[in-house]
Structure 1
Amino acid sequence: MTGRPPVAWRGVTVYLALAFGLAWAAQIAFVSAQRALADLPAILTGTAMLVSAAALMWPPAVGAFVARRWVERSGFADAGLRWPRGRYILFAWLGPPVLTLSAIAVSLPLYPIDWNLETLREAPSQSGQVFPLPPAAVLLMQALLASTLAVPINSVFAFGEEFGWRGYLLPRLLTVLGPWPGLLVHGAIWGLWHAPLIYLIGYNYPGHNLLGVPLFIVFCTLAGVLLSWLQLASDSVLAPTIAHASLNAIGGLPLLLLHGVDPAVGGVIYSPLGWIPLAVAIVLALRIGGLASLLHRPASAASTPGIAPG
């Protein structure tokens, strides 16, 4: 990574302190609020969860802004605040659904398709509600919404993470640690950032509160490679933002489609079996997408972090 100025660790330290400190406090508060609001009407609970989503996902953006503006005084030239080319929007939007379907495919030997959609049939009785449509229609509508309207809505929240992880931390760790160590470490840090939510309520891994933490770290390390490829190839933080939003929208679909899914084993993209299509996508990014050359590419004047000594 020649051509980049030395990184001031003071800025990175402030970034990590704010990203983790604010987010971990928000995650603990989220768990407490979830338990306290369990008996409230659904509309109030939904509003509270929406506010919580912003509090959970925006601390990295706060940390990045503070580090750039007041610690490094480096400005935002390398933050990727520009609209990506159309092909990267396409990759970002459609990539997660393809990966999710691939995770379903590799998991079929363990988790067959639930043609009766028992999970959807049981959901109304558990929530005290009644679906006005047949389960198959509900599943179809959910899939359509997840691949269309949910993506721009989710992007508002996903940008809070991407502005921090890919827009700020990634270029600095690539500089300090080198291409592959920096790439992998940045993804592992991103995974660890989710730890309280996983450990306290089994987020993404119900019944595996402790095991879920390292599993999600591995997932974020792999997914972080692909999001970084989007960032580096498009020179835009908005490309991984769209991909992150699309993944959040579609990633849980296998839980409704497959029978008896255990996310600590397979079915979903963040499961061990789901790592297989992620690994294949990384190979494609290396062989076709030019990831290796992007990692070794000297920084341009427009994307170089102008970091003050510290």
Structure 2
Amino acid sequence: MTTKEKQGFGLYFLLAFGLAWLCQVYASLLLIRDGNAALYRLLLTVSMFCPLLAVLLVQKVFLRQPTGIGWKVQGKRRYWLAAWFGPAVFTVLAAVLYFAVFPHRLDLSGSWLATAYGGEMDAETLRRELGVSNLSYMLETGLFAVTLAPPINMLAAVGEEAGWRGYMMPHLKEQLGLLNGRLLGGVIWGVWHWPIMLLTGYEYGTNYLGAPVLGLVVWCVVCFALNTLLDWLYEKTGCIWVSAIAHGAFNAVVALFVVLTNPADSYYNVLGPMPIGLIGMLPMLALAVWLTLRKS
């Protein structure tokens, strides 16, 4: 890597973080001050494209070079299937593991749904009058999450994937090696989310076990695991759309089994049952470590 390319790589991080953090902080202020959830979500979606924008500004404007990102749709079918359905498998494993460790936190009463519907009706009234139950919710939400949601969410996720997996990871692995590159890449990706985690409780809420420090640390470990799996998919296919669809599928299904908890147990969200919890992430983390140690 030449001196100018190193400068470009540094500039990439400055832009990817600076632009995204401006969006995240402003979005958080709008939510906290004005309660504007719609604009908050829109600005967070915009922030997801900042890594791609940073790549384009560095490679096309500063260095005047190709981005090197693989945009061509390609790759063996098994990698596409892994990207599409793998996140759902990890989500199921996370919930099974979490409730195996904490069986008393498995709540089949429908209290989470009652709270989600504003608390105006209890779980039995919801089931009787609206036909909404834990089972119906999980079937409908889960079906959407593994069919239509991945390609829809992919369109937003590709901004991050192009920047992190398409551009950042090849450079980090070239300079630091596979293990250190994936470790650092995961931490960088995790820290990139910190403003909205601290300001609005993104991912774990604001009142949870060990808040806010434990959530920030756990999230970086989760990002190492997920970064490794997404990087592996991109390595195997050379197609950024594969990792983007996996990212989109993960976003779609990650919170599915929260419905089986009591809202009062949100204090333990940092542990599970989502695959971003300290316990819930273990299957995903185990695979990430195994793939890295066998140098895949």
Q: TM-score higher than 0.5 here? A: yes
Contact kept? 2:138, 2:257, Cα under 8 Å: no
Within the candidate set 240, 244, 254, 2:243 is matched to 240
State the one-letter code of the partner of 2:254.
G
Displacement after TM superposition at 1:74 (Å): 2.2
* 1:81 counterpart residue number: 71
Give the alignment's Cα RMSD to 1 decimal: 2.2
Within the candidate set 83, 91, 106, 1:113 is matched to 106
* 2:26 counterpart residue number: 29
- Cα distance per residue 1:105-137 (max 9 Å; x no partner): 111121543222210122112599x97431232
Per the normalisation by structure 2, the TM-score is 0.86
State the one-letter code of the partner of 1:193.
W
Within 5 Å, give how 1:213-292 maps onto structure 2.
213-259=216-262, 260=265, 262-282=268-288, 285=291, 292=295
Change (3 A) 1:23 1:82: same
**Residue 161, structure 1, aligned to residue 160, structure 2:** yes
Within the candidate set 62, 68, 75, 2:59 is matched to 68
- Cα distance per residue 1:73-128 (max 9 Å; x no partner): 2203x301121332211000111000011101111121543222210122112599
Gaps of 5+ in 1: 295-310
Displacement after TM superposition at 1:37 (Å): 4.1
**Residue 103, structure 1, aligned to residue 94, structure 2:** yes
Mapped to 2, the partners of 1:163 and 1:203 lie a distance apart of: 23
Contact kept? 2:49, 2:156, Cα under 8 Å: yes
The number of residue pairs the alignment matches comes to 278
| Larger fraction in helix | 2
Gaps of 5+ in 2: none
Contact kept? 2:225, 2:289, Cα under 8 Å: no
Mapped to 1, the partners of 2:200 and 2:74 lie a distance apart of: 36
* 2:149 counterpart residue number: 150
Contact kept? 1:188, 1:220, Cα under 8 Å: yes
Mapped to 2, the partners of 1:232 and 1:127 lie a distance apart of: 50
Displacement after TM superposition at 1:153 (Å): 1.4
Displacement after TM superposition at 1:284 (Å): 5.5
Corresponding residue SS for 2:117: helix
State the one-letter code of the partner of 1:24.
W
Where do 4+ consecutive residues of structure 1 move more than 6 Å?
A: none
